[in-house]
Amino acid sequence: MNMNNITSIKTASNGVWQGDNPLHFAFPLLILQSVLILILTRFLALLLKPLRQPKVIAEIVGGILLGPSAFGRNKTYLHRIFPQWSTPILESVASIGLLFFLFLVGLELDLASIRRSGKRAFGIALAGISVPFFSGIGVAFILRKTVDGADKVGYGQFIVFMGVALSITAFPVLARILAELKLLTTQVGETAMAAAAFNDVAAWILLALAVALAGNGGEGGSEKSPLVSVWVLLSGAGFVVFMMVVTRPGMKWVARRCSYEHDAVDEAYICLTLVGVLVSGFVTDLIGIHSIFGGFIFGLTIPKGGRFAERLIERIEDFVSGLLLPLYFASSGLKTDVAKIKGGKAWGLLALVISTACAGKILATFVAAMVFLIPAREALALGLLMNTKGLVELIVLNIGKEKKVLNDEVFAILVLMALFTTFITTPTVMAVYKPARGGSTPPTHRKLRDLSADDTIDDELRILACVHSSGNVPSLITLTESTRSTKNSSLKLFVMHLVELTERSSSIMMVQRARKNGFPFFARFRKASEWRDQMAAAFQAYSQLGRVKVRPTTAVSSLATMHEDICHVADDKRVTMIILPFHRNWRAFGGGDVAEEEVEENVGHGWRVVNQRVLKNSPCSVAVLVDRGFGAAAAQTPGPGPMVGVGRRICVLFFGGPDDREALELGGRMAEHPVVKVTVVRFRPSSADGMEGSNVILRPMHSKSGDNHYSFTTTPINREKEKELDDAALAEFRSKWEATVEYKEKEVSNMNMIVEGVMALGKECGYDLIVVGKGRVPSSMVAKLADRPVEHAELGPVGDLLASSGKGIVSSILIIQQHGGGAHVEETPVLKIAQSNKNELPLSTDGASTDHV
């Protein structure tokens, strides 16, 4: 078979048993190439993760390694795995991925938000493009004189390609770097994103100009009539006008037909849109620009943030960016031969190109930012961020190579420049610019007890409430409203939406959506636009109820570092309590007082780990809300805000210890609310059965994994002092709220009585919410529950008992952990091993054992 004649290549082989080598056939070879590329790029991404490098770096490096620079030095491998005849096939498949990826970039680039971002971002973007562009022209002259064969191309196209290559900022790559560095929602991040969006649009215009000038490139490039370039540009402009004037209203009509008022998105519309992307690509290729322009412009015509755009992103994104796009980067790497850069002169040129690109972009952005009165450190960080290259840069270089404007050596130099500038962005920004975290914060109340002990009249209760999705909102508002003291203290509620940073670019882009109401962050969820407006209205109405200030904020982070964001905001905003939604919620299914069936919503184990880490590292008290419909009635109640005229029955369980005292403190705040009825149930050890004088001995586990055993404090505890504090807290609570709060006591003599008593309160008493301490400093009663089967260790023994599924409990549960303030901080998983009488000393190798109460 003649391997050089592409017409002789067959698609599929007859199999190895019939003597065919699958590597001589197009499709099996494409599969092998794809697998090899994906495995290598994923492995490199894993290696580069500790350096916080974007995935694009791994993909470019992977391509270079697979190509003639590294593995390709073995000619047998290169001819077998990446033969010359397979290149057009691999590039065709990769180009489909690229076409749809650029469609997604257009879909996520909101022109309206660019217009809104104002003079500052525009000025910075203009400086960041023009200076490197003119620097690129200077570099182009040097390259033409130095590199063999570079002067065979016409001046015009070579100069424009070099200028574009040096002046581009990669919008999608920058978004990921900002999110990784937790700068996305800072002022620097917002300015960088707006300037990069301007830059992106300018880059496309310049690239269209470059391609129009290049024509077919090569030696014949300079002989081509200049009129051809003019026709190409005019046709391109006509295409853009047609798309904006004719196609855009059509896509708006389609988006309206696929809105939430209609039950389902018609598959025909999705299919037609995908065909539209391909047709647009074909038309721009026909004009003589490049097919990717068609995809990008078509993406711009689709209305942003609606259900239709959401569904398109869901359908395309994973397949395109996960599978097809790495093939494009790899094909770029396969064309890059670092060996072409040989000799001191060539490496000197590489250094010149890198330093010119970096200096032009960083200095221009820095000076422009200083002109707009941005502080020096932030301005420098902005310059470094704008120096990010990546996807669009590679597209420019590939088109330049395709059109024969860039030869192998210039191409290799520019690919390494793009790689280097993107690689240094993260470490340099981290070194230069660290947003103020920690430092000297004013004295603040870290637990509710501190707040009530302070006599300041206008003291403000600050709560940070975290939200995963729309389902958390009614219960969150109702809980916050329940804690709103109507007398002498105001309430400030910080609502933090937790957005998981995934490899999908759209998880970041959602944060950039219109920030009009402060809640752009929920757009990924089902029925987003419909309930986002309702929720904004609910919070707005809620803040107008008086003495409640609502401040929305967001955290875009990987689940591994989400707790850092939550704890930082809590520290920064001097919050007294963090409210976390439990990772599992239950909704009553069907009617009746007692739900026969529960529908479980589980947001995943990753969010459970976030909760565990917040509980461990929090700078203040933490409450975990297990929602079983708390606030559902309030959500349906008409009126200016939640809980207006809706009575709430809340029960506080008291066993003893700091966490229970904090729960009691919260109960006192709730008792102030006119429509909340609070009941306090104190559990006491029965003296008749000898439980009052008994000790439970707890032994620390050797394993530090606490998922299967409850964790208790390792600090030695003065039991007598704890009992005095408990009695004093209860006495103070009763004297203050005796008229409005119902107080009960239950005597228990064994573990079964404790379990039955707790369960009965959750099932039969009709409480909307049960408040309980986590019990890190356990009373003898709570310690008896230590050897029960554990489902959710982070909730403590009593909280876990009430939060377990399938027990018929209908009340929502709030588990409270008091801030330790230095004491009772260290915890360890423990195992109950014995019970002793009053006269025996408990085993206390770690101080985690319990004495008698």
What's 115-173 look like in SS3? HHCHHHHHHHHHHHHHHHHHHHHHHHHHHHHHCCCHHHCCHHHHHHHHHHHHHCCCHHH
Q: What would the pLDDT profile of 465-513 be if each residue is shown by its tens digit?
A: 898 876 777 788 788 878 876 665 678 888 887 877 776 655 455 554 4
Let me know if 245 is exposed, middle or buried by CB neighbors in 10 A (0-12, 13-18, 19+): exposed
Instruction: Inform me whether the pLDDT recorded for 35 exceeds 90.
Output: yes
Residue type, 207: L
Q: Chain-centre distance of CA 137, in angstroms?
A: 39
Under DSSP, is residue 594 helix (H, G, I), strand (E, B) or coil?
coil
Angle at 709 between CA 706 and CA 712, to 5 degrees: 80
Query: Per-residue confidence at 249, pLDDT binned at 50, 70, 90?
Result: very high
Q: What is the mean pLDDT of the chain?
A: 77
Average pLDDT for 737-752? 81
With b for 16 or more beta-carbon neighbours within 10 A and e for fewer, the 2-21 pattern comes to: eeeeeeebeeebeeeeeeee
Query: Per-residue confidence at 527, pLDDT binned at 50, 70, 90?
Result: very low
pLDDT of residue 534: 52
For the ranges 114-128, 142-156, 267-281, 514-528, the lowest mean pLDDT is seen at 514-528
Q: Judge whether 826 and 833 are in contact, CB under 8 Å.
A: no
Query: Per-residue confidence at 242, pLDDT binned at 50, 70, 90?
Result: very high
Angle at 442 between CA 480 and CA 481, to 5 degrees: 5
Residue partners of 295: CB distance under 8 A and separation at least 6: 99, 100, 101, 102, 103, 106, 277, 280, 281
For the ranges 34-48, 283-297, 748-762, the lowest mean pLDDT is seen at 748-762
Cα separations (Å) of 390 from 59, 189, 377, 393, 504?
A: 10, 18, 24, 5, 16
Q: What would the pLDDT profile of 685-703 be if each residue is shown by its tens digit?
A: 876 554 554 555 566 665 5
Query: Per-residue confidence at 371, pLDDT binned at 50, 70, 90?
Result: very high
Q: Chain-centre distance of CA 481, in angstroms?
A: 29
pLDDT of residue 706: 57
Sign of the C-alpha dihedral computed for residues 846, 719, 575 and 653 taken in this order: positive
Share of the chain above pLDDT 70, in %: 76
Q: What would the pLDDT profile of 251-296 be if each residue is shown by its tens digit?
A: 988 888 876 555 566 788 889 999 999 999 999 999 888 888 899 8
Backbone angles phi, psi at 852, to 5 degrees: -75, 155
Query: Per-residue confidence at 722, pLDDT binned at 50, 70, 90?
Result: confident
Angle at 508 between CA 291 and CA 436, to 5 degrees: 135
Quickly list DSSP for 769-800: EEEEE--SS--HHHHGGGGSPPS-GGGHHHHH
Helix (H), strand (E) counts: the chain: 31, 15
Q: What would the pLDDT profile of 90-119 be if each residue is shown by its tens digit?
A: 989 999 998 998 898 888 777 776 776 678
In 483-552, which ranges are continuous DSSP H helix? 506-509, 528-543
Instruction: Inform me whether the pLDDT recorded for 239 exceeds 60.
Output: yes
Q: What would the pLDDT profile of 333-366 be if each residue is shown by its tens digit?
A: 888 888 888 888 888 999 999 999 999 999 999 9
pLDDT of residue 850: 40
Average pLDDT for 663-681? 87
Spatial separation of the C-alpha atoms in residues 476 and 466, rounded to whole Å: 9
Q: Judge whether 270 and 107 are in contact, CB under 8 Å.
A: no
Q: What would the pLDDT profile of 432-465 be if each residue is shown by its tens digit?
A: 887 655 444 455 557 776 666 555 434 678 889 8
Instruction: Inform me whether the pLDDT recorded for 622 exceeds 90.
Output: yes
Q: What would the pLDDT profile of 531-567 be if each residue is shown by its tens digit?
A: 444 555 556 666 666 557 777 777 777 788 888 888 8
**Token pair for 114:** 């660019």
pLDDT of residue 824: 41
First to last CA, the chain: 89
pLDDT of residue 440: 43
Average pLDDT for 407-411? 88
Q: What would the pLDDT profile of 805-823 be if each residue is shown by its tens digit?
A: 667 778 888 999 988 754 4
